[in-house]
A = this chain, B = another copy of it.
Amino acid sequence: MYVIVVYDVGEKRVGKVCKFLRRYLPHIQNSVFEGDLTEAKLEAVKAGLNKIMIYDEDSAILWAFRDSHFSDRQILGTEKKPVSNFL
Contacts and interface: CB of A to CB of B under 8 A. Distances in A.
A48 to B, nearest CB: 10
Contact of A59 (B4, B29, B50, B56): B29
A28 interface: yes
Interface in A19-67: 28-32, 42, 46, 49-50, 53-66
A1 interface: yes
Contacts of A66: 69, 71
Nearest to A50: B76
Given A53-B76, A60-B77, A64-B73, 7 more contacts: A4-B63, A6-B29, A6-B31, A42-B72, A57-B77, A64-B71, A65-B71
